[in-house]
Structure 1
Amino acid sequence: MRMQLFDVLVAFAGLSLLLLVGMALRQRLRWLRSLGIPEALVAGLLGLLIGPFGPWKLFPEQVYQVWSETPGVLISLVFATLFLGQQLPSPGVIWNRAAGQTAFGMVLGFGQYLVGGLLVMAVLQPLLGTNPLMAALIEVGFEGGHGTAAGMGPTFRELGLASGETLGLAMATVGVLTAVILGSTLVVIGRRRRWLSVEPTNEGPTKASSLLRRMADDDPMSADERLALETASGTIDADSSASITIDALTVNMALAGGAVGLGLLLKAGLTLFGSLTGSVETSRLITAIPVFPLAMVGGLIVQVLLQRSRQTSLVSPVAQASIGSLSMDLLITAAMASLNLPLLEENWLPFIALALVGLTWNVCAFLWLAPRIFSDHWCERGIADFGQGTGVTATGLLLLRMADPFGSSRALEAFSFKQLLFEPFLGGGLITAIAPLMIISWGLPRFNAVALLLTLASLLLGLRLGRQTRRR
Structure 2
Amino acid sequence: MNDLAPMLLAAWQTWGATVLVAVAGLAVLLALGRLLGNALGLHLLGIPEALLAGAIGLAVAPTGLVPLVPEPVIALWSELPTALLTLVFACLLLGKPLPNPAGLWRPLSAQVLMALTLAFGQYLVAGLVVLLLLQPWLGVSPLMACLIEVAYEGGHGSAAAMGPIYADLGFPGGEALGLALSTVGLLAATLVGGLVVVLGRARGWLLADRQEPVVVPVSNDLPAEAAAIAKPSAQAVSSPGSAERWAVNLALTGVAVVMGYLLWTSLGLVADQLGGGFKLVIDALPVFPLALAGSLLVRLVLEKTGKGHWTSAPIQSLVSTLAADLLITAATACLDLSLLRHDWLPLTVLATVGLAWNLGVLLLLAPRILPAPWFERGIVEFGQGTGVAASGLLLLRMADPADDSDALPAFSIKQLILQPLIAGGVITVGAPLAVMSIGLPAWTALCLVLVVTWISLGLWLARR
Give the TM bin, normalised by the shorter chain: 0.7 to 0.9
Counterpart residue number, 1:332: 328
Partner AA of 1:68 in structure 2: S
Amino acid at match of 2:125: V
Counterpart amino acid of 2:441? P
Question: In the TM superposition, what are the counterparts of 1:254-403 in structure 2 within 5 Å?
Answer: 254-277=251-274, 283-403=279-399
Q: CA deviation at 1:134?
A: 1.4
Quick check: 1:410 aligned with 2:420? no
Q: Deviations over 1:366-405 (max 9, x none)?
A: 1111111123222222222111111111111222222222
1:23-422 correspondence to structure 2 within 5 Å: 23-30=34-41, 32-199=42-209, 205-206=215-216, 247-277=244-274, 283-422=279-418
Deviates most, 457-466 or 304-313: 304-313
Q: Tell me the CA shift for residue 282 of structure 1.
A: 6.3
Question: 1:422, 1:208 → 2: CA distance?
Answer: 33
- In 1, are the aligned partners of 2:281 and 2:429 still within 8 Å (CA)? no
Instruction: Tell me the residue number matched to 2:3.
Output: none
Runs of 4+ in 1 over 6 A off after TM superposition: none
Contact 1:424 1:430 in 2 (8 A): yes
Match of 1:463 in 2: 459
CA contact (8 A) 1:207 1:408 kept: no
When residues 189 and 246 of structure 1 are mapped into structure 2, their CA distance, relative to the original with a 3 A threshold, is: closer
Q: 1:25 and 1:395, CA in 2 relative to 1: closer, same or farther beyond 3 A?
A: same
- Output the CA distance in 1 between the equivalents of 2:451 and 2:45: 31
> Per-residue deviation at 1:115?
0.9
Q: Give the letter for the 2:166 counterpart.
A: F
1:58-86 deviations in Å (ceiling 9; x for gaps): 12222111111111211111112222244
Per the alignment, residue 9 of structure 1 pairs with 20
Identity %: 48
- Matched length: 440
For residue 124 of structure 1, what is the amino acid of its counterpart? L
**Aligned-pair distance for 1:276?**
4.3
Residue 336 of structure 2 aligns to which amino acid in structure 1?
N
Structure 1 residue 427: Cα displacement: 1.6
Check 1:177–1:127 CA distance in 2 against 1; reply closer, same or farther (3 A cut): same
**Residue 427 of structure 2 is aligned to residue 431 of structure 1:** yes
Alpha-carbon distance between aligned partners in 2 of 1:202 and 1:276, rounded to the nearest angstrom: 62
CA distance in 1, matches of 2:64, 2:46: 25
The TM-score normalised by the length of structure 1 is 0.85
Q: Cα distance, 1:342 vs. partner?
A: 1.6
What amino acid is aligned across from residue 314 of structure 1 in structure 2?
Answer: W
Alpha-carbon distance in 2 for matches of 1:18, 1:204: 46
- C-alpha displacement of 1:140: 0.7
- Mapped to 1, the partners of 2:123 and 2:143 lie a distance apart of 11
Superposition RMSD in Å: 3.0
Against the structure 1 CA distance between its residues 249 and 115, is the aligned structure 2 distance closer, same or farther, given a 3 Å change threshold? same
Corresponding position of 1:220? none
**Are the aligned partners of 1:53 and 1:338 in contact in 2 as well (CA < 8 Å)?**
no
After TM superposition, give the deviation of residue 208 of structure 1 in Å. Answer: 7.4
Q: In structure 2, list runs of 5 or more residues that go unmatched.
A: 1-11, 225-234
SS in 1 for 2:208: coil
Deviations 1:219-263 (A, max 9, x none): xxxxxxxxxxxxxx979x99xxxx9x9722222222222322233
SS of residue in 2 equivalent to 1:145:
helix
254 and 34 in structure 1: CA distance in 2 versus 1, 3 angstrom threshold: closer
Counterpart Cα distance in 2 of 1:467 and 1:52? 58
**Change beyond 3 A, Cα 1:132–1:87:** same
Cα distance change, pair 399–285 in 1 and its aligned pair in 2 (3 A): closer
Q: How high is the TM-score relative to the length of structure 2?
A: 0.86
Aligned residue for 1:221?
Answer: none
| Counterpart AA for 2:135 | Q
State how far apart, in whole Å, the 1-side matches of 2:210 and 2:37 are.
28
Q: Tell me the CA shift for residue 172 of structure 1.
A: 0.6
1:271–1:286: 8 Å Cα contact kept in structure 2?
yes
User: 2:407 and 2:262 mapped to 1: Cα distance?
Assistant: 39
Q: What is the SS of the residue equivalent to 2:207?
A: coil
Contact 2:181 2:351 in 1 (8 A): yes
Mapped contact 2:54–2:330 kept (Cα < 8 A): yes
> What do residues 154-183 of structure 1 show as CA deviations (whole Å, max 9, x unaligned)?
221222211111111111100011111211
Moved more, 398-407 or 416-425: 416-425
